[in-house]
Amino acid sequence: MATSTDVVFVDGVRTPFGRAGEKGMYWQTRADDLIVKAMIGLLERNPSLPKDRIDDVAVAATTQQGDQGLTLGRTTAILAGLPKTVPGYAIDRMCAGAMTSVTTTASAIGFGAYDVALAGGVEHMGRHPMGFNADPNPRFLSERMVSEDALNMGKTAERIHDRFPHLTKERADRYAMRSQQKVAAAYEAGRIQPDLVPVATRSESGWGLATKDEAPRPETTLEGLAGLKTPFRPHGRVTAGNSSGLNDGATVSLMASADAAKEFDLPVKMRLVTFAFAGVDPEIMGIGPVPSTEKALKKAGLSIEDIGLFELNEAFAVQVLAFLDHFGLDDDDPRVNEYGGAIAFGHPLASSGVRLMIQLARQFEEHPEVRYGLTAMCVGLGQGGTVIWENPHYNGKRRK
Ligand SMILES: CC(C)(COP(=O)(O)OP(=O)(O)OC[C@H]1O[C@@H](n2cnc3c(N)ncnc32)[C@H](O)[C@@H]1OP(=O)(O)O)[C@@H](O)C(=O)NCCC(=O)NCCS
């Protein structure tokens, strides 16, 4: 008889994120090879896990075509050398793909059907540009279910600026500059590198090795940001500098029941408290994490004050500012994105959810005074996702 059981995040790793396009480091690397590389890296650093005890492999991608198609969880399990007895499947919730891989496998573990699962995501936006070959139903527009802006993420961010005029471009630019600075500081302090799996790359000049993210621009200044074009609207506020970019990368996590973690002598980096997804108007998709966070907090019986660390995906600076503003948090609250965010790291859509979790897990280690943290992100066509986690290193000194 299956019963509800504790679910834990054992470990997570990712590839360094590249810049999408011909000049990017993964231009000649297949999408499935990125996730395979991450999976092998994760299994190598958890050697006590018997591979035949993995109950399932969930891998997300937004554009499930070509080297991102063909039921990624299954193909990559075989390519990563897992026993053929281990099944796998593919997931899509656009930007929250990897987050959904985690919550879906976690649900199976919590129900008692699974003991251990791999959950992750990949997006090679160079080989699979956003929306490529998409065929949205014409009724969306002809029946005015959504406006045309809803299908362009940058335009949805401009709409958030419209709705909340006090979230100015200057605030968005300042937030973006801080994100770049925090990523540089986190690299400097060696916080990011331990969870990166190096990837062999190929270019016209020969073989190389990707060991760090390609997109960060530590030299970013407010003056530089102020002068950038606003590609989504003439005289708009959203720029290449205060948005996440177009990137390639893969992430993967190892999820388990608390009992299985003990049985296989695996570390426990975070305990899952609860999660929620919510829908909002697609034209302002960036505010999605507000209702998903409210829903998750309510389920958990917690309030925003109980959350000591936040890992928010920075699809756009204004979208994070709308979240902070709603919950009464300062633009530069030290609990938020301590290592910086997607504006600097990049946002390979369906992979990003697990990057947030990897970073939160590392911050939990460094902050035993924090009890709860959350990872949250917005999703195209108007959704938000939030996962609340408990810190296993919590020392009870301060109830947060
Ligand atoms: C905004 C966007 C259109 C920009 O694309 P792009 O033009 O290819 O971006 P680039 O990296 O070439 O940057 C454009 C310019 O800004 C400059 N720039 C970018 N970031 C900068 C920074 N932090 N400081 C100074 N300059 C910067 C670049 O140097 C470049 O300058 P150039 O034109 O003189 O070469 C693209 O990144 C985008 O669509 N982002 C959103 C992705 C998205 O929607 N994701 C899903 C979220 S839900």
Query: Which residue type, as a one-letter code, is found at position 204?
Result: E
What's the predicted TM-score (pTM) here? 0.98
In tens, the pLDDT along 330-372 reads 999 999 999 999 999 999 999 999 999 999 999 999 999 999 9
CA–CA dist 190, 199 (Å, integer): 19
Ligand 1 centroid distance, CA of 95 (Å) = 18
Q: What is the 3-state secondary structure (H, E, C) of the chain?
A: CCCCCCEEEEEEEECCCEECCCCCCCCCCCHHHHHHHHHHHHHHCCCCCCHHHCCEEEEECCCCCHHHCCCHHHHHHHHCCCCCCCCEEEECCHHHHHHHHHHHHHHHHHHCCCCEEEEEEEEECCCCCCCCCCCCCCHHHHCCCCCHHHHCHHHHHHHHHHHCCCCCHHHHHHHHHHHHHHHHHHHHCCCCHHHECCEEEEECCEEEEECCCCCCCCCCCHHHHHCCCCCCCCCCCCCCCCECCCEEEEEEEEEEEHHHHHHCCCCCCEEEEEEEEEECCHHHHHHCHHHHHHHHHHHHCCCHHHEEEEEECCCEHHHHHHHHHHCCCCCCCCCECCCCCHHHHCCCHHHHHHHHHHHHHHHHHHCCCCCEEEEEEEECCCEEEEEEEECCCCCCCCCC
* Residue 398 banded pLDDT, cuts 50, 70, 90: low
C-alpha 20 – ligand 1 centre gap (Å): 11
Is the pLDDT at 399 greater than 70, yes or no?
no
Distance CA 9, CA 166 (A): 38
Query: How many angstroms separate the alpha carbon of residue 354 from the centre of ligand 1?
Result: 23
How far, rounded to the nearest angstrom, does the alpha carbon of residue 395 sit from its chain's CA centroid? Answer: 27
pLDDT of residue 197 exceeding 90, the answer is yes
Report pLDDT digits (tens) over 136-146: 999 999 999 99
How many angstroms separate the CA atoms of 389 and 309, rounded? 10
Residue 1 in this model has a pLDDT that exceeds 60? no
Q: Please tell me the predicted confidence (pLDDT) of residue 3.
A: 55
**What band does 397 get if pLDDT is binned at 50, 70 and 90?**
confident
- Is 393 one of the catalytic residues? no
Q: Which atom of ligand 1 is nearest to the CA of 221?
A: 24
**Mean pLDDT value across residues 27-38:** 98
Radius of gyration of the chain (CA): 20
Tell me: the pLDDT tens digits for 287-311?
Answer: 999 999 999 999 999 999 999 999 9
- What is d(CA 355, CA 105) in angstroms, rounded to the nearest whole number? 17
Residue 312: predicted pLDDT: 99
pLDDT over 90 at 100, yes or no:
yes
Strand duo 56-60 + 88-91: pairing = parallel
Write out the two tokens for 240. 């290449």
Q: Is the CB of 246 under 6 A from ligand 1?
A: yes
Q: Whose CA is nearest to atom 21 of ligand 1?
A: 241
Mean pLDDT of the chain: 97
Q: What is the pLDDT of residues 109-136, one digit of tens each?
A: 999 999 999 999 999 999 999 999 999 9
In 10 A of CB 47, how many CB atoms? 9
How far apart are alpha carbons 163 and 279 in whole angstroms?
A: 18
Residue range 151-164, pLDDT digits in tens: 999 999 999 999 99
How far is CA 345 from each of CA 55, 183, 186, 249, rounded to the nearest angstrom? Answer: 31, 7, 11, 10
Count Cα neighbours of 18 within 13 Å in the Cβ-side half-sphere.
32
Which residues have a Cβ under 8 Å from the Cβ of 4 and sit 6 or more positions away? 110, 111, 112
Atom of ligand 1 nearest to the CA of 217: 23
Residues comprising the chain, all counted: 400
CATH superfamily, domain at 273-388: Thiolase/Chalcone synthase (3.40.47.10)
The closest alpha carbon to 39, from 70, 3, 11, 8, belongs to 11
- Domain ranges in the chain are 273-388
124, 128, 347, 367: the active-site residue: 347
- Ligand 1 close to Cβ of residue 240 (< 6 A): yes
